[in-house]
Structure 1
Amino acid sequence: MTEKTHAFPWGRAAATGVGSMPGEDAREAARTVAGELESPLFLPELPARGPGADMVGRSTGLLAELYARLEPSGWRIGDRPGRDTRRARAWLREDLDAVEEFTQGYEGVLKVAVMGPWSLAAALERRNGEAMLGDPGACRDLAQSLAEGLRGHLAEVRRRVPGATVVAQFDEPSLPAVLAGRVRTASGYRTHGAVDRAVVEETLRELVAVAGEAPAVAHCCAPGVPFALLRRAGFRAVSCDLGLLTERDDEAVGEAVEGGVALFAGVLPGVGVVPGELSDPAGTVTPVRSLWRRLGLSPGLLGESVVVTPSCGLAGASPAYARAALAHCVRAAKSLADDPE
C-alpha cells in the first residue's frame, strides 16, 4: 500500500476517551478529562446517575418533537415530555455546565457523543412495545428528530466552548446486528429483518452532514464493524475495540485508513487495577503496530491516523483507574508516534 498523509484537527499523538466515566459527579468527571487529556477532550457521560444519564435515555433527551419514557422493558416513545425526558435534559445541562467550567480558553478538539440512529432504533420501543427498527417510517422519523436535536446540541456546545473544534461521535453498538438481521423482537422468538445497507448508509450520511465540517466519528464496540459502509457514509474516523478485529477485517481497515479515515483504537481495558497493568505504554499499543505491519502501511502514518483510547467506556471503572487510564492513553499515543517501529 502506498503512503498518504491526512490532516486531522486533533493533531499527532492523540488520545481520548470513548465517552462514559464512573461516578455521579459531573464536575469531577469534567475535571479529570480536562486534566488528563490534551486533545481531543470529550463530554463525559455518567450512567451511574440512573435513567436519563444512560446512553439511550441521554439520546432520547435530545430528540426534537419526539419524547420517551422509561418502562420496565426499556425506553418507549411517549406522547409528551414527562419526568424521564426532563431528567435526561437536566443531566445533560449539568454535564455541559461542568465542561464549560473546565475548558475556559480551550482551543483543541471537543468530542460529543450521541447514540447513532440505528442503534437507537434498535433500543427504543414504539407504543406497542416493539423496537422502532421494525417500522421503516418510524426509523425515518427518529433519524430526522435526532438530526434536528443534534443540530441544536452541537450549537449549544460551540456556544459554551467557543474556541473548540466540536466533533460529533455516533455510538452504534448495534449496527452490525442491524445489518445482519440479528436484533430480536420483543418476544425474543424471532428477529427483525436486516435493514438494507443503502438505507443504513444514507441515513448515516444525513446525520454526518449535521455534524458540520469537523470530522465525524463512528463508534462501534461490537465485532463486525462495517468500515467500508461507514467510510462511504462520510465518517472520517472509526472508533472500535481493537481486540475484536480479526484478519478478516484487515482489508477494510487498510482501505479506510488509506482513504483518509482515522482509527480510534481501543487498546486499554475499560476496567482494571492500578497501577501494575498501566506501567508499559509502549506495550499497550503493540497490537496497533502489529495491525499496521499486517496492513503494509507506513509506520509514519501511525502518529496521525491513530488515536489511542480505552476499548470502551469507563463507567464501570473506579475513579482512580479512569484517571490513570486516560493518562496512560496519552503516554501510549506519544510512544506510538515517537517510536512507531
Structure 2
Amino acid sequence: MQQPPRATGIGSLPGTDTGAAHRLVFDELPDLPFLPELPARGVGADMTGRGTALLVELFAEVQPSGWRLTDRPGRDARRAASFLRQDLDYLEENAQEFTQTLKVQAVGPWTLASTLELRHGDRMLSDLGAVRELSESLTEGLKQHLAEVRKRAPRAGAILLQLDEPALPGVLKGTVPTASGFGKLRAVEEPVARETLAKLIEAVHADAGADVAVHCCAPDVPVDLLRKAGANSISFDANASAIDTESRRDEHLGEAIEAGVGLMLGVVPALDPPRAPGVNQLLDKVLSLTRLGFSPRQLAEAVTITPTCGLAGATPPWARQALILAHRTADALADKAA
C-alpha cells in the first residue's frame, strides 16, 4: 500500500454553513480533504438519513421511532437527497483543481441495518435476509455516488470511501436494542458480518476504483474482521480500548500494519477541551504504537492523523483548530521519522 495521506477529518462538522465547511477542509487538510457532513441541518443530514439517500430502490421516511422503510419516497427522503446534492455542488465548486486524494463518508451496512426499521417496525438487523437486500442496495448506491463524486472532482488523484460502522461491535456482541428498547437483537456471527462487508468493499474496488476505510469509534473495534474483509484502512479513536495493551488488539493492529492496512488514528479531541493539547502531547499518543515493534518511520507510512469522532458537537473555532492540530501532528510524525 502506498503511503497514506497524513491528516484528515472523520466527516462531521458543526454548524449549517455548507460553503464554509467545504472551504475549511480544503484549506486545512490539503493532503486528504473530505466531503463534510453537517448533521445540525436537521432531518436528512443525520447519518441514517444520509445513508437512506444512497439506497437504490429502497425508500425511508422518519417515523416517531426513527427512520423506517416505506413504499415510496416522501418529504424526508427528498430532503435527504437535496442535502446530498447541495454538498456535491459545493464539492464541485471547490475541487476543480484538486489533484490529491479525496475522502467521502457513508454509513456502513451493519450500522444502517441497526438504525433503520422495517415496515412493520422492527430493526432491519432482526432479519438477515433484509440486511442482505439493504447491503446490495447500498452497494449500488455507493457505486453511483462515487461516480458522481468523480465527475464533480474530475482531477482528483483517487477517491477514498470511508464506511462508518460505529454499531458493528454491538452487532457482533448482540447488544443492539430492539426497536421497542425492551430487548436485544441476536448477535450476528463474525463470518456473516465479515462476508457482508467484504462483498461491498470488493464491489467498490472493482466497479468504482476506490479504496475503502472503515471507521468505528466504539470500543473493541474488530480490527481483525475489518482487515480480513479487505479494508484498506481502519479508523478508530486512540483513546478507545481498541489499542488496549492487555487485549489481543495489539496483535491484530500489528498484523494489519504488516499486511499494508493503514491506520487512521483519532488523537485530537473532538469536543472543546479545557486546554488545547500540544502537538508533542498528541504525537506521543501516536508513538505509543511503537510498542507493536514498529519504528517511527514505519508508523509514519501507516498512520493518518484525525480528530476523534464527534466534531459536529464542537464549536466552529475548535473544529478548525482540531483540523489544524491534526495536520501539525502529522507533520511532526513525518519529522520524527526522517
TM-score by length of structure 1 reads 0.94
Q: Distance in 1 between matches of 2:337 and 2:168?
A: 32
Shift in Å, 1:42: 0.3
Matched position secondary structure for 1:243: coil
Candidates 222, 229, 234, aligned match of 2:230: 234
Unmatched segments (≥5 aa) in structure 2? none
Shift in Å, 1:214: 3.3
Matched, 1:336 2:329: no
Confirm or deny: 8 A CA contact 1:302 1:337 kept in the other structure: no
Matched position secondary structure for 1:271: coil
> What is residue 279 of structure 2 aligned with on the other side?
281
RMSD (Å), alpha carbons = 1.4
Matched, 1:250 2:250: yes
Task: Letter of the 2:2 partner, please give it.
Answer: A
Matched, 1:146 2:138: yes
Q: Distance in 1 between matches of 2:13 and 2:285?
A: 25
> What is residue 315 of structure 2 aligned with on the other side?
318
Shift in Å, 1:300: 1.1
Matched position secondary structure for 1:339: helix
Which residues of 2 match residues 68-87 of structure 1 at below 5 A?
68-87=60-79
> What is residue 269 of structure 1 aligned with on the other side?
269
Matched, 1:99 2:59: no
Cα deviation digits, residues 157-195 of structure 1 (max 9, x gap): 001101111111000000000011111112323211111
Q: Distance in 2 between matches of 1:320 and 1:206?
A: 40
Q: Distance in 2 between matches of 1:217 and 1:252?
A: 16
Confirm or deny: 8 A CA contact 1:15 1:39 kept in the other structure: yes
Candidates 2, 10, 13, aligned match of 1:7: 2
Shift in Å, 1:340: 4.3
Confirm or deny: 8 A CA contact 2:235 2:265 kept in the other structure: yes
Shift in Å, 1:229: 0.7
Task: Letter of the 1:318 partner, please give it.
Answer: T
Matched position secondary structure for 1:218: strand
Candidates 15, 23, 30, aligned match of 2:15: 23
Confirm or deny: 8 A CA contact 1:150 1:210 kept in the other structure: no
Confirm or deny: 8 A CA contact 1:167 1:211 kept in the other structure: no
Runs of 4+ more than 4 Å apart: none
Shift in Å, 1:131: 0.4
Confirm or deny: 8 A CA contact 2:117 2:179 kept in the other structure: no
> What is residue 170 of structure 2 aligned with on the other side?
177
Q: Distance in 2 between matches of 1:182 and 1:289?
A: 33
Cα deviation digits, residues 212-249 of structure 1 (max 9, x gap): 24321000000111111101111010000110031111
The 3 A distance-change label for structure 1 pair 45 and 109 is same
Q: Distance in 1 between matches of 2:144 and 2:124?
A: 23
Matched, 1:186 2:184: no
Higher relative contact order (CA 8 A, sep 6+): 1
Matched, 1:221 2:194: no
Q: Distance in 1 between matches of 2:237 and 2:256?
A: 16
Cα deviation digits, residues 58-113 of structure 1 (max 9, x gap): 01011000000001111100110101110001001111111111122101111110
Matched position secondary structure for 1:119: helix
Task: Letter of the 2:214 partner, please give it.
Answer: A
Task: Letter of the 2:322 partner, please give it.
Answer: A
Shift in Å, 1:211: 2.4
> What is residue 121 of structure 1 aligned with on the other side?
113
Task: Letter of the 2:198 partner, please give it.
Answer: R
Q: Distance in 2 between matches of 1:214 and 1:86?
A: 27
> What is residue 3 of structure 1 aligned with on the other side?
none
Which residues of 2 match residues 24-63 of structure 1 at below 5 A?
24-63=16-55
Unmatched segments (≥5 aa) in structure 1? 1-5
Q: Distance in 1 between matches of 2:174 and 2:299?
A: 35
Shift in Å, 1:281: 1.2
User: Percent identity, aligned pairs only?
Assistant: 50
Confirm or deny: 8 A CA contact 1:68 1:78 kept in the other structure: yes
Q: Distance in 1 between matches of 2:238 and 2:282?
A: 11
> What is residue 260 of structure 1 aligned with on the other side?
260
Confirm or deny: 8 A CA contact 2:271 2:310 kept in the other structure: no
Shift in Å, 1:273: 4.8
Candidates 301, 305, 316, aligned match of 2:302: 305
Q: Distance in 1 between matches of 2:101 and 2:8?
A: 10
